[in-house]
Amino acid sequence: MTTSLVHVRDLKKSYGAMLAVDGVSFDIEAGETFALLGPNGAGKSTTIEILEGYRDRSGGEVSVLGSDPAHGGLAWKSQLGIVLQSSGASDNVTVLEQLKHFAGYYPRPRDVGAVIEAVGLGAKANTRLSKLSGGQRRRADVALGIIGRPKLLFLDEPTTGFDPEARRQFWDLVNQLKAEGTTILLTTHYLDEAATLADRAGIIVGGKLVDIGAIADIGGAEAKVPLVRWRQDGVTHVERTVEPAALAARLHAQHGGEVEALEITRPTLEDIYLDMVGSSRAGQGTVSGPLAGRQA
């Protein structure tokens, strides 16, 4: 018996002659946080809108919480939480009024006061939405997404406009939701956010899923080989090696002491992602090197 709450196989979406999503396949297991990453225009927003039931697909199979999202009814929708990139909520109501109103749509809503506190808006509960800052308004959007106690939560660029402290507080909230068993589909342009919150990630470029796996496995072993950088005669040199300390020692010996601008770094998820996106675009959606042969 599968534990997948989201099941996608060979998903396609075309707009006339343009294929925006081209054969994407993945699963999201119950209780995990899955990050769908990609540059603007890659097809990730279209994919998510299909999963949410907002957009029809052109081909492939999709199941979300056991139902085809194209035909999901009210009972199905009540199990979803959706935090869009922008909200259409009225500016003329307070945070408290908005949450109370939306809580009434769900069979088992969370406590309104507890949700307001959880998103850090306790001091703004009686403030109209029009008076909130951008970051505070984003927190109100998140509150709307979780008020219904969703089984599956879509977070689309949730921390846009947050300052660093607010982002860390939001991460704590997401980890709390994960601990409660909420399954989360996250999109973000902050790669450190994906690395911190997600169990697995899929990277979509040009409508194709070019890699998928646990965060620690994205890019394959070769992509994580340390980089040694140094400057010599005004020229910066970069070398990948599984023995960076040994290379550094040889450079010290060759230079008879300190090596200019010597540094050893291990590629982060952001480094791997940028390399992957660049090589995929150069190859018109194909992947070479450590990703070759990996299955989505």
Q: Where are the domains of the chain?
A: 4-215, 220-291
Domain 4-215 CATH (choose: 3.30.9.10, 3.40.50.300, 3.30.950.10, 3.20.130.10):
3.40.50.300
Per-residue pLDDT, 89: 60
| 196-217 average pLDDT score | 93
pLDDT at 296 over 80: no
Is the pLDDT confidence value at 291 over 70?
no
**Mean pLDDT across the stretch 195-201?**
95
The pLDDT confidence band at residue 290, using thresholds 50, 70 and 90, is: very low
Convert the pLDDT of each residue in 235-254 to its tens digit: 999 888 988 999 989 998 88
Between residues 161 and 270, which one has the greater pLDDT?
270
Residue 278 has pLDDT above 50, yes or no: yes
Would you state the pLDDT for residue 60? 97
Average pLDDT, the chain: 87
Question: In this model, does residue 91 exceed pLDDT 80?
Answer: no
pLDDT top residue among 52 and 84: 52
Any bridge partners for residue 204, and if so which?
Answer: 209
Question: Which of 170 and 34 is assigned the larger pLDDT?
Answer: 34
